[in-house]
Every structure is written in C-alpha cells, then in structure tokens.
Amino acid sequence: MLSFIKNRFLQTPFLMAFLFLSCLDSNKKNDSGTVGETNSFPEENNSSTQEMIDDIQQRIAAINVESVPYIFNNRKVALLEQKLVTAQGNEQLNLLFTYSLELLNAGKTDESIVVLTQVLQVVESQNVQSKEELVFFIKKQLAIAYMRKAEQDNCIANHTNESCIIPISPKAQHVIREGAQQSIALLKELLVLNPDDLECQYVLNIANMTLGQYPQEVPGKFRIPESHFSNSASFPHFSDIAMDLGVDVNQLSGGTCVDDFNGDGYLDIIASSWGLNDQIKYFENDKKGGFTDKTEDAGLEGVTGGLNLRHADYDNDGHMDFVILRGAWLSVFGSIPNSLMRNNGDGTFTDVTKASGLYSLNPTQTAVWTDVNLDGWLDLFIANEWSEAKQSYCELFLNNGDGTFKNVAKEAGITVPGFFKGVASGDVNNDLYPDLYLSDYDGLNTLYINTTKETGKPSFTIADKSAGVAEPKLSFPTWFFDYNNDGFEDIFVSGYSSSEVLPSEMLLRNLKANTSEYRPLLYQNNGDNTFTEVSLKANLTEPVATMGCNFGDLDNDGFLDFYLATGDPDFFSIVPNKMYRNVNGKNFEDVTYSGGFGHIQKGHAIGFGDMDMDGDQDIYAVMGGAVEGDVFRNLLFENPMGNENNWINMVLEGKRSNRSAIGAKIIITIEEGQKERKIYNTVDSGASFGGNSLMAEIGLGKADIIKEIEIKWPHHTKPVSIFEKVEVNQTIKIVEGGEIQQLDLPKFSFKNEMSGHQHHSP
C-alpha cells in the first residue's frame, strides 16, 4: 500500500513550502535513548569477547541503512532530512511522506504528526487522482500516530503495572488525554468514509478504553462486544511486578533465558533486544525477593543485539551457557555472527564463538540445543533464513566433546531450505532420539525424523507427507509438548500476520464472522508417526499472530498451559497477548482477561519459571516492537495461585547423558481420588521463541504423594531411574545413577512494595 501511495505522490503537483522542517530538532532522542546508534563500551571485556564485539560493530557499520527493514530508523530520518534539502517538486512531497512515517518509527511522534498534517493539507488542497484514497490513508497514519503519542505519554512515560492491559483498568486509563482524543476524532472521520475498515474499528475501541469511554462512546456497529472480555474463563489475576524489581527493561523485541546462571539454585533472567546495538541484560536473583543487575560484572557490557536467546550447559561443566541469535529479517545484510557465551563459573561469561567453531554469517532467530546422537554432549541446530539473495541453509553443529563443534547438516541429510522462524526438538516416536520440526514462514513446515540409531551416525530423514504437519501458512513459533498426557509428544505451531491482513483485522473478522482463519494449529500425536490437527476440537479457534510464546503449568494441575505473545511490527497491531489454560488434556480455555494477561504492547520471548521457589511458575515476558520507537517495558507476572494444587521441582543432572539433561523424559504416576494417572514432562527450554527454566517444574494436582517417578535419561545406552513414594511440594535434585537429594532453597516473597506506583521515565 505504501509503495502505491508513494507512486501517487510522484504524480502530485508540489505546492507546499518546506520551511516547517527547519524547526524540527533532528537531534532529539526518542524514549529508547540511542537505539541504533553506535555505543562506546569499556575496554574491560576479555579479548575474545572484545574481538567479537569489534567484529559485530564493523559489520553493523557496513550495512546499507536504506536497504534493511525495520531498524536504523533514526539514521534513516537523518538521511531523509539530507535528501529533503535538495529535493524539489513531486520528489520532495514523496520524501516528506516517507519522512513522516520514519519519524514515527523512530519514536519522534510529535514531529511525525506535524509532517503528516502538512502532507495531508497539501493533498487535500489539490485536485489529484485517487484523492479520497490518498486522504484516507494519510489520515489513518495520523490516527495511529496520535494513538502512539497517547501510549508514549501515558503507558511509557507514566508507566504503571497495569498499563496497556485490556480491558483497561481505571488505574491504567490515560491521564494525558490529547493523543487518544485526537486519534478518536480521526478514526470517526475515517469510519464515515469507510465503515468496513476493521483496523480503524479496532483502534477506536482501544482508544476509548484508554479514556474510560468504552463501551458507551463506541458506536454499536463498531463496538467490540463487552461479552468478548467477560467470556474469559475464571482464573486468578496475575500482576506485573517487573517495575518493582527493576527487571522492566525498556527496549525492543528480543529473547530471554530464565534459569540458574550462578549455580545457587535460584532462577536468574537474561534478556536481549534485537536492536543491533542494544545491550544484553543479566539479572541475578538475590534470593531475598529481588534481582540485581549483574550485566557489567558478568563481562557482558558491549555484548549486543539478538532477537532470540537459547541456553544450555553445552560443555558439561555444570555452568549454564547461552547463545545469541542475530541477523533475522535482514537477508544479505544479516551476515552478523551469532555469539556463544560460555559461563566461566565465576559470575562472568566469555564469547567463545570463534574458538568453538560456531562462527557463521547467516541470518537467524531460531535454534535448539539437543543431543542428536545421544552421546552425552549437546549439539546446536540453527535454522536459518534462506532466500535467493542470501542462500543460508540450516546448520547442525555436532558437539565434539572438547568445547568445539562441526557443522554436519548436509551429511546428516538436513538440506531443505526455508525462511525458518521456528525450530523445536522432540521425540515423535518414543525412541529417545530427538526429532526436529522446522517452521517455515514462506513455505511448508518440515518434520525431520532422527535415524541415527539405524545409521550409526547423526542422520535425519523427512517424515512422510502422511505425518500431516506441514501447515500453517505464514508459520512462526513452535514447540513439542504432551498436552494430553498420553505419553506421545504433540506439536504446537502458530501462524503469523501478513502485510495484507494485520492482527487487529484478524481479531475482528473472527468476532464478526466466527471465522477460524489464522488460528494456531495443534497436532496430536497418533503414536504411529502421524498426527491429527485438533485445534478446533481443542477450542483454539481465535487467530493469534504469535511471535514469542511458551508453555508451563500455571495452576499445577499436571496439564500444560501456554502464553502467546503478539509481536507484529505495525503500530495498528496493538492486540492482546493470549493465555490458554489446559482443561484436563481435552481442550483449552482462554483465561487472558480474567488472568490479567491481555497486554496489547508487542510481545516476544516468554520464560516460565518458579523464581521465588514457592512452587508455582512465574512468567517473564520480553516486550517491545521492531522499530526503534516501539519500545516497551518487559513484564514479570507473579503467580498468585500458591499451593492450591501440589507440585514438585526437579533439577536433573546427567552423567553419561548431557549434564543439562535436555531431552530427559520424566513420567510421574500419581493418584487422585483413588484414580491413577500419569504426568509426562520433557526437560527443555520450551518454545522456539522463549526460554523456560530447565528445572522441571511439575504440577501434581491433588495428589498427596507421588507413587512413582520414572526418568528416561537421554543417552544411547538408555539408562532409567525409578523412585517410589516421593513427597510432594519440594525441590529435589537427581544425578543420573544416584538417589534423590532434597535441595534447601527457601521460598521468599517478591519485594513489591512499589506496586501501584507510577514509574516516570527519565
């Protein structure tokens, strides 16, 4: 649509003075600081880490800013300002329109509104071809610019722990009302011109919510029914305490790892932001109810970028490492290396990418740690973004057991190209050897069956079409889990949005026409290498344009729930992130609004973990969009459920198996009401765009004792551990071949004395 508008502008006579540009402050910084600008970092980094920082910075400097999507918005603004000085006539007006949108992307919303208004005045004053369509489109951009101003003035500059969660509470209603008021006025004009514009209808509802005017001020024909929000199944309300604890990083979309990085048993947080110069953040659990920013102490100062993170103990030294994935969406300009950050065990990390053999220059945002040959060493599979311009095939880095890796993807039979946005590892056929599921945004998805056991070397073969797991179109994040506890791992995969149909339009289509288009898909494992798609049967009927996501057991009933985070880059895409509760393995109920999870800012990586050791899982969510002005504060939802149901936390340590025990299968037998049932759990970090704790946090329902724990360890010798009559409501450690050790990890209460206070941006 934008290219069409720009072409139309080229046919428009230029009659507007350019004087107003001189009053714009091109040096004004947005709310995110200097995202996209080159930072200077201290020289304390060790040599290999600094070498990679320098390498990455040089590659960033070589990028053609005008040729990449989403990022470098402030630099694009500066380039457009230079061009505008000498441009004339039609070219100048066309550049002005582009400039106005780039100002919005850069977070310079007031300036964007000024320029958009001037462009609108010129177009309205002229007799030009397709004038009505041009005016409509410009006004629509102006309406969303005012809405973004409203968000910046209220949800960011005057942030509360209820900001931007719908239905908007009185506490989160906008105090500075101008932005939403102006947006509403424009949206009403637009809906007179085109009553069927679903994006305008949707934002009209949200804007009125922010002012406490929903539903009464929204015309009935455009109103989202109140029943849509009250239909959310009853569920305890979770509160965001990230602001109180200082872990509310205010950056762009990114990844997270929730796990124990300093070896004290308590879960820490690592978070990234995809801005190429955005600082990685490391927060250490202080075991007293808060977190301490240890980024600088950990030697991570200057380590930047990364749309996703994946963690594991790759070298079996007992210290949790992580990999940073870079270059996503950038095609030929995505030749920015990933980073393998080795945990030194002394509170610091070192970039060992080059020494380990993992150095490569392919754009990616998705990878998975898994032991493909069950030799006791974790391998790294990276699914890259293949395109004609940048033919980046997948990489399977086999762990040599000495801290180095070798790419054996081609030899292992993994050759399918794709624009992969997700990869997950699971055991489809219960042979213990991990299979791979690749989610392709531009084509059919691929299930690779592990044939290492048959061939004697790392090898995979593509599953027969009868497996039935090739959809959806515009495929994005994915995971394996046993949602119905039948002993076979199922596949969840969610679609995404397109430039033609934004998430807000998807949502209203579903409400108005009860369509199930764009819904996530749930593939139930039939136990014979085939799957049945059961999303509708499981009550997953609504479209969710998912980016980040993950699963866990919020209510400790032994059935896995999940949270989907919506991250479409468009500013109109302020649609709620969604939480689904698993109902006895039969279907899922939407608990988004009753549980307080309906955040409408852009959502990305999700990490479940029992951060306060009280037996229930809390949730860390990385927020923020793609463009530099679309920053938002990360969330930490405290689980309020307590011990309504029983639970057990299990730390597994492999000996012959990989030390992280990734791929270990835990089968728990319990008895509830004199009826026996089994609960199945696999040790991993969860979804392809998220980072759960590797501590197995398992709900036990009403069982007052565990009849049996069976552990199938991920090693080719297939060792098994069995324990009987295990007490509930404790955290234990099991070393492969050893007995149960009870861990002394006292629970604590989060320091949330600041809850309810506003946070004012500096």
Average pLDDT taken over every residue of the chain: 91
The predicted model gives 183-208 an average pLDDT of: 97
**Contact yes or no for 139/133 (Cβ under 8 A):** no
- Residue 47 scores a pLDDT above 60: yes
Radius of gyration, CA atoms only, the chain: 26
DSSP state string for 488-546? S-EEEEEE---SSS-HHHHHHHHHHH---TT--EEEEE-SSS-EEE-TTTTT--S---E
The predicted model gives 743-758 an average pLDDT of: 73
Cross-sheet strand order for the sheet of 446-450: 420-426, 435-440, 446-450, 460-462
**Contact yes or no for 173/162 (Cβ under 8 A):** no
The predicted model gives 21-45 an average pLDDT of: 37
At 93-151, the pLDDT tens digits run 889 999 999 999 999 999 999 999 999 999 998 887 788 899 999 999 999 999 999 99
H-helix segments, 247-391: 353-356
Give the residue among 316, 194, 331, 160 at the shortest CA–CA distance from 714: 316
**Which amino acid would we find at residue 67?**
S
pLDDT computed for residue 24 by the predictor: 31
Helix (H) / strand (E) containing 555: none
* pLDDT band with cut points at 50, 70 and 90 for residue 494: very high
Share of the chain above pLDDT 70, in %: 93
pLDDT computed for residue 419 by the predictor: 97
At 420-447, the pLDDT tens digits run 999 999 999 999 999 999 999 999 999 9
* pLDDT band with cut points at 50, 70 and 90 for residue 469: very high
The predicted model gives 305-331 an average pLDDT of: 97
Give the residue among 141, 126, 136, 138 at the shortest CA–CA distance from 189: 136
**What does each C-alpha distance from 86 to 18, 79, 91, 623 come to in angstroms?**
11, 12, 10, 39
pLDDT computed for residue 499 by the predictor: 77
Largest Cα–Cα distance in the chain? 84
At 294-317, the pLDDT tens digits run 999 999 999 999 999 999 999 999
* pLDDT band with cut points at 50, 70 and 90 for residue 25: very low
CA dihedral sign, ordered 271, 101, 84, 7: positive
pLDDT computed for residue 229 by the predictor: 86
pLDDT computed for residue 753 by the predictor: 52
Q: Rounded to 5 degrees, what are φ and ψ at 85?
A: -65, -35
Residue whose pair of structure tokens reads 């071809």 in the numeric block: 129
At 445-467, the pLDDT tens digits run 999 999 999 999 999 999 999 99
Any idea of the CA torsion for 448, 452, 455, 457, to the nearest 10 degrees?
Answer: 120
- Residue 686 scores a pLDDT above 60: yes
Helix (H) / strand (E) containing 228: helix 227-230
**Which amino acid would we find at residue 635?**
L
pLDDT computed for residue 516 by the predictor: 85
Which range among 32-41, 428-437, 516-525 shows the weakest confidence by mean pLDDT?
32-41
